[in-house]
A and B are shown apart, each in its own frame.
Chain A
């Protein structure tokens, strides 16, 4: 698992989030939590367990 920082840009439509770098090729899932893009890689548990 690794994280990619987000870039926030703002225009008349509001805030827009994009990754600071391209997603890696070997990802098995991506989740943006509003703070970072969390990149799940082979061997990681995806989807992540839900809070109960």
Chain B
């Protein structure tokens, strides 16, 4: 069957992605290496925003978000937050005086339904950069059959500092 004729197929950026039956084709949904920075404010600031089309994951699908960030090397707190549908799913805060950046990854998996997810982070509060601020694991009830907005934000404790989202990669693993 040609792609695009199955109602489960996904159209994105001029291409069709097949998700018929048990087919699970992982694909890069969105990525950028254009640096996006915030400075001069202590308000949480959106550095990247991606719309995840409804139904693109499937009931057992997953969303993998990988990113790297850099920041001013001082002891002020710098925070990068990943949000899905307005809910923080990963809060990465650092205040190491000599650190200049880090990379991390989050996976959001549907749990047999499009409105039930579990979030996988690189670790718990004891792991460098991967900071989980509530009960582990985080579970969500986002309706992934509807469009959801994924955002990556930066927040500074001192507006004179800078935090930069250096790159991000959003992958969809249908299932």
Contact residues of A with B, CB < 8 Å?
A: 8, 13-19, 22-23, 27-35, 46-47
Min CB–CB distance B60 → chain A (angstroms):
31
What total count of A-B pairs have CB within 8 Å? 61
Q: Assuming A15-B43, A34-B38, what are 17 further A-B pairs, CB within 8 angstroms?
A: A8-B43, A14-B44, A16-B43, A16-B46, A17-B41, A17-B43, A17-B45, A22-B49, A28-B34, A29-B37, A30-B37, A30-B47, A31-B39, A32-B41, A32-B45, A33-B40, A47-B35
CA distance A46 to B35 in the complex (A): 10
Min CB–CB distance A23 → chain B (angstroms):
8
Min CB–CB distance B155 → chain A (angstroms):
9
Give the interface SS of chain B, mostly helix, strand, loop or mixed.
strand
Query: Using Cβ atoms and an 8 Å threshold, which residues of chain B touch A34?
Result: 38-41, 43, 45, 159
Provide 25 A-B residue pairs closer than 8 Å at the C-beta atoms, listed in order of the A residue: A14-B43, A14-B44, A15-B44, A16-B46, A17-B43, A17-B46, A18-B45, A18-B46, A18-B49, A22-B49, A28-B34, A29-B35, A29-B37, A30-B47, A31-B36, A31-B38, A32-B36, A32-B38, A32-B45, A33-B40, A34-B39, A34-B40, A34-B43, A34-B45, A47-B35
